[in-house]
Structure 1
Amino acid sequence: MAGRIRDEDVAEVRSRARIDEVVGSHVALRNAGSGSLKGLCPFHDEKTPSFQVTPARGFYYCFGCGEGGDVITFLQKVENLSFAEAVQQLADRVGVQLRYTDGQGPGPAPGLRLRVLAANKAAEEFFAEQLTSPDALAARQFLASRGFDRDAAEHFGIGYAPRDGRALSRHLQGRGFNEQELVRAGLVRERGGFDFFQGRLLWPIRDAGSSVLGFGGRRLYDDDRMPAKYLNTPETPVYKKSQVLYGLDLARTQIGKKGQAVVVEGYTDVMAAHLSGVDTAVASCGTAFGDDHARMLQRLMGGTDAFHGEVVFTFDGDAAGQAAALKVFKGDQHFIAQTYVAVEPSGLDPCDLRLQHGDAAVRELVGRRVPLYRFVMSNVLSQHDLDRADGRLQALRAAAPLVSSIRDTALVGGYARELAGLLGMDVEEVRAELARARRAPQPVRGGRADRDPAPEPEEGEEQRPPGTPMPPADDPRLDVERETLQLVVQRPDLFDAELGGLTPEHFTHPAYAGLLVAMRTALSREGGADWVGDVRAATDDPTVDQVAVALAVQPLRRPDPDQRYADMHVARVQLLAAGRRIADLKSRLQRTNPVEQTTRYNQMFTTLLELEAHRKELQVRSIGATD
């Protein structure tokens, strides 16, 4: 078993990695006041932002779905990483050299991700230099034939892999990289030590922060032993093809500003779009555009009303393009933004369109976009003979489920009239068919109903015990309990070692009672400077852990609480608990016969008098009075 990362190194990574920067590379964040940032949650679909980040405390929390944690937790969940992988990635990012406890075998190579990224960067520079060499004539000719000059090549970092099968390997090993690192980076093949890319034109694929994750290479020579026209870096510690988009480093800022993303089909199409002024263009790399890509774009667009954002797909007008549009339609539930299709009737892709008709033609292509639903609906109608009555009826029945499934219900009426016009049918007949389609049970498009069953949780995966529910944030009966614990979480300096005398019995919700137990456990241990971290470490209940995070992130009702304010809240919690005890005791007194059970009755009555006196004291303290 490999060694475990040392606790002090994990703490160092957590303290150095700024949560606003890490989250901000995945989610568009906006200032929410009181030192907090807000954005659309990356873990569930929502129209208005309920995802909150508090940089000063190092936590995030979504008040919509209940996901929360620190910078390590966020990276684990958003990139589907293990704890160790997330720590390693952050360590590479902030320059922390990780150390491992002794295990039965060697631990992961420290800094592997950092070495892979460094090797990719050095490879990018090498390939770019090779593009000007005599050996790269075919590469330069290809670029020229596609309308790209030297400035364009430099702007996109395009390079050339020499036909010499070991040129890159020799160069990088001369720069201090060993063969195993180059193999792990996908730059050198494991068998034979040959360069992965040979005799190909190369595009560097970068993340939003401009780090080079991998490369895409185009075939140039007929005698290339790899028959595929395009060849991409294999899966590596930093390159996951389902999680990268070519051009994202150039388009990310504009996607956020304009609330628009244009999805094209290839590297040259991205280049043509950007050079034509469509600076929100991206493309998937070596795989079809998928769910992870959709979620990535949705998060980048952000905004308080993401229905005003749009994702535009460019497809050819042929059968393949129509099939691609239908595939996107099936996954359209992943977009909150409106989804559009831009089709060039001549069948030209953006690169050829720019080459033959200029930059304006590419901009006009995007400008002529039509709603995805309308494109798909027209495609469905074209498969039926609309000159025949039975053909029109069949077309209506085929199109009705599509129109009735439109997410923006305000558009349904307009599409009903449009569909009636296309079919030459009475609009009321079309509306009646749409109503029948809405009533009919339909499988959820792209949802759980037409997917494989949910996988069983993996070993070690956090699950919330069914007996420990999350306390509802909007329950006014829990306001005092919640606000008091929030003060303890965020301002422990206002409380003594006994937490003002609070006990779990003072709290009605089991999660809040559990949080107080965790606080007392944390106080009994020799903790460090991270109070919230100590509290989270003191509980095995994931619900209590999430409550601690939520209370750490949510702004205090009073930004600058003092000792008196904290004492008032403690007294209010105790006052409510005293009221519950008094009510319970009165109920028991009513059920007790004072003649037959005199001693028991007198004991309870004495206790009641003591409780009433204590309640009066708490009432005075709860309003901040001293007398």
Structure 2
Amino acid sequence: MGNLFPEEFIEDVKASSDISNVISNYISIKASGANYKALCPFHREKTPSFMINPQKQIYKCFGCGEGGNVINFVMKIENIDFIEAVKLLAQRANIPLPEMNISEKDKQLLQQRLELYDINREAARFFYLNLKKKGNNAKEYLKERGISQEVMKSFGLGYAPHSWDDLLKYLKKAGYKEDRILLSGLIVPKKEKKEYYDRFRNRIIFPIFDARGNVIAFGGRVMDNSLPKYLNSPETPVFNKSDTLYALNIARKNITDNRMILVEGYMDVIALHQYGFKNCVATLGTSLTKGHAIKLKKYCNEVIICFDGDEAGEKATLRSLEIFKEVDLNSRVLIIPDELDPDDYLRENGSKVFKEQIDSAISLIDYKIILAKRKHNLTEAEGKIKFIKELAKIMRDISSPVEREVYINKIQKETGINEDTIFLEIYGRQRKKGLDNNQKYSYINKRDNKYIEAITPVEGKGHIVAEKQLLKAMLTQDNIIPFFKNKLNPEDFSIGKHQILANYLINNDQAPDRVTLENQFPDMEADIKEIYNTDIEHIDIEKALAKYISNLKKFKLLYQIKQLHQQQDQLTRENKLNKEEVEKELLKIGVEIMRLNSEIQKLQL
């Protein structure tokens, strides 16, 4: 959205919003000569470095560098955009917004939304007053859950009385029409008569706010074992479940370490809030959606998922991790021991232990590994086999060679299963031991025939020279990297260090200068120097690339055939299997050799 307001109006809003008064509504400030000072609200500090200059109407933090005018401050502290900040300041200064050129239809829709906000706000007041005056059983329930009066007030908790139409009568008396109250979702039509009754009855009420603090819907919880346990407002012109997060209006102002905590429900949010974790939100009785994830990405760089430890919670966690991955938002999982919910765990262990759990939250792959371990008995051979087979599926989705190696080492330590055996299960080729420095890893992913970080010997210097020539071309010839992206994979290189450099270059559209590259890889300075000294003056790089890839694939296939022949010899010599089994295995190997020879012939065409 562009700037909807005239410059004169914006200047009027700034002139009517004394910066020291506005800031003092958010933090404690102290006079310091003609200025004011405070602890910065935007970073942690013990000595005040946040200064306010009333004369110039600006602020500046000399610790973190944040600074600007009154609008900048409100945008930052409220986590809202420019338009919303101007609107908020205008409202506080009692300055009417200027007329905007919008269509009659849009005006009607805007009026409808404003009326629904008013109805919801009035309903929230009704529920809140009922909790204070009539909701003894609700107050007792909340007290038993350890929720303080202060937190009840912060979240605007209320109580829907045990009657059919108290709220309807209240809203009609306040001047609202039945059709508008129906549109808000607060009442439900009777089946046969043209009459209505309250949707929420004898429930604790949780008002649901949008990011700007408007009441847009409600959630109601029973205090006994009746069903449904939770009841939410239906979707309305102001409420969409798929992109609404409970308590976002509070959490966006309390972002800690640039991350948010995602829990399952209202009570979990309130429990975390009460223990000091105010950067916490929940979905509203639905699974996390892409809309939720995109909204969270506006406010933080990382989300810590903290769902219940039961089977439903595990499935919801996996779905959420995949959605965050899809929108490119970092996410980790906080696993609560003993399948407790966050509320119970906090009450038993306190905020310090919970903070330690947040800091040690785990990644998607680690979480999948933990779930796999829970399913299988690793003290038994059959359990270990099933565990490794399940992990093989997980590991094939890891694109980073370094990450794969780390996890395979980790699995080897936890299970005691030989690392070569794990590789064999994942990639279909067993790694041979005793390789020297002129050898490399070679495993073929049979799912998509893509070579994954080989372990084949590099015979002769031709491959190595070609690799250095290709890397130098990428480092020194403008606009050549995009050409390489479509034709070359880091795994096509035969030297580990060459793979690392190729991966770095292919993932950057423009090559860095030599100094930057050496700073990025200080342990490879000699290798980088050798690449820069490689002669490519008289080489057609495009032809060299095509020939190199063809030769390398051919070389890998020949090596695999050699290994298969060795397996044939070994089977014949050792005689560990009966004759029929040996013949069956030899036949399998023979078929594989024929397939590989066919691949070589294709490369030679």
Report the TM-score when normalising by structure 1.
0.50
How far 1:428 moved relative to its partner? 3.8
Q: SS of 2:343's equivalent?
A: helix
CA contact (8 A) 2:241 2:286 kept: yes
Q: Which of the residues 188, 204, 207 maps onto 2:210?
A: 207
In structure 1, the residue matched to 2:373 is: 381
Q: Output the CA distance in 2 between the equivalents of 1:271 and 1:290.
A: 22
Q: 1:408 Cα shift?
A: 6.3
Deviation at 1:186, TM superposition (A): 1.0
2:394 paired with 1:402: yes
* Cα distance change on mapping 1:277 and 1:408 into 2, 3 Å: farther
User: Partners in 2 of 1:183 and 1:344 — Cα distance?
Assistant: 41
- CA contact under 8 A between 2:260 and 2:280: conserved in structure 1? yes
Equivalent of residue 100 in structure 1, options 89, 101, 104: 104
Alignment check: 8 A CA contact 1:277 1:363 kept: no
Distance 2:375 2:405 in 1: 23
1:160–1:200 contact (8 Å) kept in structure 2:
yes
Alpha-carbon separation, structure 1, partners of 2:158 and 2:215: 13
Letter in 2 for 1:328: S
In structure 2, the partner of 1:261 is 260
In structure 1, distance between residues paired with 2:313 and 2:137: 30
Q: Flag the 1:108–1:291 CA change in 2: closer, same or farther, 3 A.
A: same
Q: Given that residues 329 and 373 in structure 1 are in contact (C-alpha distance below 8 angstroms), is that contact kept between their aligned partners in structure 2?
A: no
Query: Residue 327 of structure 1 is aligned with which of 315, 319, 323?
Result: 319
What is the Cα deviation at residue 93 of structure 1?
Answer: 9.9
Query: Which residue pairs with 1:273 in the alignment?
Result: 272
CA contact (8 A) 1:242 1:290 kept: yes
Q: Does structure 1 retain, via aligned residues, the 8 Å contact 2:321–2:332?
A: no
Mapping for residues 394-543 of structure 1, pairs under 5 Å: 394-406=386-398, 410-435=402-427, 439-441=445-447
Q: Deviations over 1:49-82 (max 9, x none)?
A: xxxxxx9xxxxxxxxxxxxxxx9xxxxxxxxxxx
**Pairing 1:354-393 to 2, within 5 Å after superposition:** 354-389=346-381, 391-393=383-385
Deviations 1:408-448 (A, max 9, x none): 66533221211222221223443454445983447xxxxxx
Percentage of pairs with the same residue = 28
Q: Is the 8 A contact 1:291 1:331 kept in 2?
A: yes
CA contact 1:146–1:352 (8 Å) conserved in 2? no
* Contact 1:251-1:279 within 8 A present in 2 as well: yes
Alpha-carbon deviation of 1:274? Answer: 1.5
Check conservation: 1:269, 1:350, Cα contact below 8 A.
yes
Residue aligning to 1:161: 160
Cα deviation for residue 108 of structure 1 reads 5.6
CA distance in 1, matches of 2:2, 2:305: 44
1:111 maps to: 111
Q: In the alignment, which residue of structure 2 is the partner of 1:293?
A: 292
CA pair 329-396 structure 1, distance change in 2 beyond 3 A: farther
- 2:444 and 2:363 map into 1 onto residues whose CA distance is 20
Seen in structure 2, the aligned counterparts of structure 1 residues 438 and 246 have a Cα distance that, compared at 3 Å, is: farther
Specify the code of the residue in structure 2 equivalent to 1:232: N
Q: Is the 8 A contact 1:188 1:196 kept in 2?
A: yes
CA distance in 2, matches of 1:125, 1:271: 19
Alignment match of 1:313 (pick from 305, 323, 327)? 305
Give CA-to-partner distance per residue, 1:85-132, whole Å, 9 cap, x none.
Answer: xxxxxxx9987696538xxxx996661111111111111122111111
Corresponding letter in the other structure for 2:296: L
- Give the Cα–Cα distance (whole angstroms) in 1 for the partners of residues 166 and 353 of structure 2: 41
Q: Distance in 2 between matches of 1:281 and 1:109?
A: 32
State whether residues 131 and 140 of structure 1, in contact with CA within 8 Å, keep that contact through their aligned partners in structure 2: yes
Q: For residue 41 of structure 2, what is the aligned residue in structure 1?
A: none
Aligned-partner residue type, residue 104 of structure 2: Y
Cα RMSD after superposing both structures: 3.6
Give runs of aligned pairs for residues 8-157 of structure 1, distance below 5 A.
100=104, 111-133=111-133, 135-157=134-156
* Compared CA separation, residues 152 and 254, structure 1 to 2 (3 A): closer
Give, as a single letter, the amino acid of the residue that structure 2 aligns with 1:283.
A
Distance verdict in 2 for CA 1:394–1:164, change over 3 Å: closer
Q: Which residue of 2 aligns with 1:561?
A: none
Q: Which residue of 2 aligns with 1:195?
A: 198
2:204 partner SS: strand
Amino acid aligned to 1:343 = I
Q: Which amino acid aligns with 1:128?
A: Y
2:208/2:246 contact within 8 Å kept: yes
Q: CA deviation at 1:279?
A: 2.0
Distance 1:196 1:95, change over 3 A: farther
Mapped partners of 1:98, 1:124: distance in 2: 31
Measure the CA separation in 1 of the matches of 2:285 and 2:101.
33
CA contact (8 A) 2:159 2:204 kept: yes
Q: Residue 358 of structure 1: SS of its match in structure 2?
A: helix
CA distance in 2, matches of 1:286, 1:94: 39
Structure-1 separation of matches of 2:107 and 2:275: 49
Greater mean alpha carbon deviation, residues 421-430 or residues 143-152: 421-430
- Residues 287 and 316 in structure 2, CA contact (< 8 A), matched pair in contact too: no
Rate the CA distance shift 1:349–1:404 in 2: closer, same or farther, 3 A: same
Number of residues paired by the alignment? Answer: 349
CA displacement, residues 473-500 of structure 1 (integer Å, 9 cap, x when unaligned)? x99xxxxxxxxxxxxxxxxxxxxxxxxx
> Aligned partners of 1:153, 1:163: CA distance in 2, in Å?
20
Task: Name the aligned partner's letter for residue 145 of structure 1.
Answer: E
Structure 1 CA distance for aligned equivalents of residues 337 and 294 of structure 2: 29
The 1:189/1:263 distance shift into structure 2, 3 A limit, reads: same
Q: Distance in 1 between matches of 2:164 and 2:228?
A: 18
Report if the CA contact (8 A) 1:261-1:312 is conserved.
Answer: yes
Letter in 1 for 2:218: F
For residues 207-252 of structure 1, the C-alpha deviation after alignment (integer angstroms, 9 at most, x for no partner) is 1111111111101356x7xx20100010100111111111111111
CA distance in 1, matches of 2:131, 2:99: 32
Cα distance in 1 between the residues matched to 2:223 and 2:169: 23
Structure-2 separation of matches of 1:93 and 1:117:
18
Cα distance change, pair 99–382 in 1 and its aligned pair in 2 (3 A): closer
Deviation of 1:204 (Å):
1.0
2:444, 2:203 → 1: CA distance? 52
Q: Following TM superposition, by how much is the alpha carbon of 1:390 offset from its aligned partner in structure 2, in angstroms?
A: 5.4
Do the aligned partners of 2:4 and 2:100 also contact (CA within 8 Å) in 1? yes
Measure, in 1, the Cα distance between the counterparts of 2:247 and 2:188.
Answer: 26
Structure 1 residues 233 and 412: alpha-carbon distance in aligned structure 2, compared to 1, 3 A threshold: same
Matches of 1:397 and 1:335, distance apart in 2:
29
CA contact (8 A) 1:251 1:281 kept: yes
Supply the AA of the counterpart residue of 1:384: H
Report the counterpart of residue 515 of structure 2 in structure 1.
none
| CA–CA separation in structure 1 for the residues paired with 2:332 and 2:204 | 32
- Structure ranking higher on relative contact order (CA contacts 8 Å, 6+ apart): 1
2:330 to 329, 338, 342: 338
CA distance in 2, matches of 1:159, 1:390: 55
Aligned residue type for 1:202: I
The alpha-carbon distance between structure 1 residues 265 and 355, as it changes in their structure 2 partners (threshold 3 A), is: same
Shift of 1:362: 3.4
